[in-house]
Amino acid sequence: MARSVLTIRDLEATPSGSEIVVPRGTIVTDLAREEARNRSITIRFEESESASVEARDSTGSRVVAIGADHGGFDLKEELKTYLTQWGYKVLDVGSFNRDPVDYPDLAESVANAVVRGDAWRGIILDSAGIGSSIAANKVPGARAALCYDRATARNSREHNDANILSLGARLIPAEVAREVVAVWLDTPFAGGRHQRRVDKISAIEARHAKP
C-alpha cells in the first residue's frame, strides 16, 4: 500500500506556529521537515484506527496479547492467571511448553497483534527481556519497553505511551513481575509534551520506512 508523502509544498498554506496532523506512516521529506522547523510548525502523526480503538472481546474485556520463549514460559503462565483474575482477556501466542524456541518469533507475534488492533496491549517475556524488546520494536507501530520495577513501568506508560511490556523472566522475581504488569496496565499516557515526543518517535519510524 502506498504511503502518503508530506512535501514542502504541502506546508505553503500552513500558518507559522501551527500544527498539522498527518496520517500515521506518512513520509515527511527533508525539505518539509526543515520548513516546519524554521516556521515552528508541529507535524503530528495521528493514531491509526486500530490503535485508537481498544481491543475487547465479546464480553467487553480488554484483550492483552502475551508471548514468551522457553526462558519466559513459566512466568507467562503465572501472569496469565493474574490477567484473567483482573478481568482481562488473554491472547496467548505461545510458546506453549518449555521446548527451546526463538524469542524474535514470539515478540513479533505479540507486536503484530497489538499493531493490528487484535490486542489492546502486549506483554513479551524471555530470560532477560532485552532481545524481545528489540525484536518487537522492529514492527512499525510497536513501542516496546523493557521494565524491571514499578517506576520504569509507570514511566514507560506516562511518558512513552508504550503499548508492549517486555520482561526478563530470570532477572526479576515473579511477585515483582506481577506488580510491574499491574502498574503498567493501569497507568494512562500523560499526553501533553510527551505526545510531541512520541510523535517524533513515529516520525523517525516513518522516515526510515521502505517506500
Rg (CA), the chain: 19
**Contacts of range 77-82, beta carbons closer than 8 Å, 24 or more positions apart:** 78/174, 78/177, 78/178, 79/123, 79/125, 79/177, 79/178, 79/181, 82/178, 82/181, 82/182
- Is residue 208 annotated as a catalytic residue, yes or no? no
CA 208 – CA 205 distance, rounded (Å): 5
CA 56 – CA 141 distance, rounded (Å): 19
CA 206 – CA 27 distance, rounded (Å): 5
Task: Single out the catalytic residue among 70, 159, 194, 208.
Answer: 159
CA 109 – CA 47 distance, rounded (Å): 21
CA 159 – CA 143 distance, rounded (Å): 12
Q: Helix axis angle, 174-186 relative to 73-85, nearest 10°? A: 50
Cα within 13 Å of Cα(35), Cβ side = 17
CA 112 – CA 141 distance, rounded (Å): 9
List the catalytic residues.
159
